[in-house]
């Protein structure tokens, strides 16, 4: 454990990326205050974080859409930096329930920013997404690649939130923001104490694969094999959640240490390597020696054919690079699923 650095408020910190980032922050010498309302996570996630770091973690059950409850957190705790994860994240669901997504994802976010301004807390790290690039005209995408119109309300909430943060950094003295545009986070902590635990039918590929391998789902649906890609299935940039968590620590360090070159900065966080859905599935089967029945079904609304990152800027400015081996990541995903299901 390095010397104490600062305290970071982690909203949505019981979620998949939130838990892994909380662990990485604590291991880097930060204190964390986690808030979550467990709308898409479980209290056991906090217990997992505590087991990994070997101590109690400050946690409050708070809905970030409730500004009065959130104000209490700002009154009770001193912190200079907020990482805002709390959001609904299912692309498909957002197509059918846009208001649910706009209300939750933007109100909660504006509440955070309003209180940052009121309490003069200077640093915001926003959990953005590669969805802001939409169906990009050129690949790989850099941070300068023009954002295309969002293909889903979920993606639009990320675009709007980025614009809000940019405008706040421009308008308010002492206000700094970084948006990390994630590609496709996968994997789990090697301890199998924390990982991705979606409620109901998973929206992300890896939990669907692991649940099918575990016999919870009868068959994996592969959405479309007629895309203009080498094997007809979508190409994505799959990044290990541990690498992603380290990118957050690097970004927080940059803000806390006063190293930002602009008041608002954007970084792509991916591997830079495109992998198709079928390739990922076959790598999982081979790495873990399990069977995963699958079928090809119609394309899914809101999916783009291909997107992957140019990570040159994050590598240079954050001193960060994705390092985890994909097969190790896929083994960690399966170990987590087995741990959750009690499979030997």
d(CA 253, CA 230): 39
d(CA 12, CA 37): 8
d(CA 22, CA 18): 6
d(CA 208, CA 7): 35
Backbone torsion region of residue 249, taken as left when φ is above 0, otherwise alpha when ψ lies between -120 and 50, otherwise beta: alpha
- Tokens linked to 118: 């009121």
d(CA 277, CA 97): 26
- Residue bearing tokens 């994860």: 85
Name the catalytic one among 88, 101, 133, 154: 154
Determine the distance from the C-alpha atom of residue 52 to the mean position of all C-alpha atoms in its chain, rounded to a whole number: 20
Cis-peptide into 86, omega within 30 deg: no
d(CA 105, CA 163): 14
Helix axis angle, 277-288 relative to 326-341, nearest 10°? 70
Report angle CA 22, 267, 209 to the nearest 5 degrees.
60
Q: Which residues, including other chains, have CB under 8 Å from residue 338's CB and lie 6 or more apart? A: 192, 214, 344
What DSSP designation does 132 have? G
Q: Specify whether 154 is catalytic.
A: yes
Q: Which residues, including other chains, have CB under 8 Å from residue 139's CB and lie 6 or more apart? A: 274, 306, 307, 308
Under 8 Å between Cβ of 65 and 11: no
Q: Which residues are catalytic?
A: 154
């Amino acid at each position: 454990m390095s010397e104490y650095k600062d305290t970071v408020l982690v909203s949505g910190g019981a979620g998949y990326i939130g838990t892994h980032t909380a662990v990485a922050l604590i291991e880097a010498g930060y204190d964390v205050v986690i808030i979550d309302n467990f709308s898409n996570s479980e209290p056991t996630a906090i217990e997992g974080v505590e087991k990994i770091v070997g101590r109690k973690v400050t946690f409050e059950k708070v809905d970030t859409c409730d500004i009065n409850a959130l104000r209490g957190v700002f009154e009770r705790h001193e912190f200079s930096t907020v990482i805002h994860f709390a959001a609904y994240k299912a692309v498909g669901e957002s197509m059918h329930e846009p208001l649910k997504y706009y209300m939750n994802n933007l109100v909660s976010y504006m509440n955070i920013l309003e209180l940052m301004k009121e309490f003069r807390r200077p640093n915001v790290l926003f959990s953005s997404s590669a969805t802001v690039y939409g169906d990009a005209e050129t690949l790989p995408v850099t941070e300068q690649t023009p954002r295309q119109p969002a293909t889903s309300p979920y993606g639009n909430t990320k675009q709007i939130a980025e614009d809000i943060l940019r405008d706040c950094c421009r308008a308010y003295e002492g206000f700094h923001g970084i948006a990390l545009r994630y590609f496709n986070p996968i994997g789990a902590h090697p301890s199998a104490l924390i990982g991705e635990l979606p409620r109901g039918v998973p929206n992300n590929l890896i939990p669907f694969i692991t649940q099918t391998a575990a016999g919870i789902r009868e068959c994996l649906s592969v959405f479309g094999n007629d895309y203009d890609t080498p094997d007809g299935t979508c190409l994505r940039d799959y990044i290990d959640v541990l690498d992603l968590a380290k990118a957050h620590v690097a970004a927080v360090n940059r803000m806390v240490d006063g190293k930002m070159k602009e008041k608002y900065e954007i970084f792509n966080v991916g591997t830079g390597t495109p992998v198709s859905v079928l390739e990922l599935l076959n790598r999982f089967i081979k790495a873990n020696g399990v069977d995963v029945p699958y079928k090809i079904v119609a394309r899914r609304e809101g999916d783009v054919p291909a997107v992957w990152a140019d990570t040159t800027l994050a590598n240079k400015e954050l001193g960060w690079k994705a390092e985890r081996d994909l097969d190790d990541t896929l083994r960690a995903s399966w170990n987590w699923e087995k741990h959750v299901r009690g499979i030997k």
